[in-house]
Amino acid sequence: MTHDPVLADILRARLDITTELDASPELSLLDRARLRLALVAILSDLDRGAATRADTADALERLRREVFTRVPA
């Protein structure tokens, strides 16, 4: 098995996003649900072949920025 840096970025982003959502009581349940749904949609597009790994990594990075800007530091 070879190392795929793009796939590693996808996995890391997914874990970062879910960890931040789980650890952010400041977000409303509705906001968390919407962000989780966006995460699932991005990953589903990759799984269905509707998005490339690079597109998925970019979409996850945008979602990660959205999550981290909504959560107070």
Segment 47-65 shows an average pLDDT of: 96
Three-state SS annotation for 46-73: HHHCCCCHHHHHHHHHHHHHHHHHHCCC
Q: For position 62, what pLDDT does the model report?
A: 96
Give the pLDDT score at 72.
72
Domain limits of the chain? 5-70
Q: What is the pLDDT of residues 2-55, one digit of tens each?
A: 888 999 999 999 999 999 999 999 899 999 999 999 999 999 999 999 999 999
Question: Which residue's structure tokens are 């589903």?
Answer: 44
* Residue closest to 9 by CA, chosen among 55, 41, 68: 55
Query: What pLDDT, on a 0 to 100 scale, did the predictor assign at position 73?
Result: 64
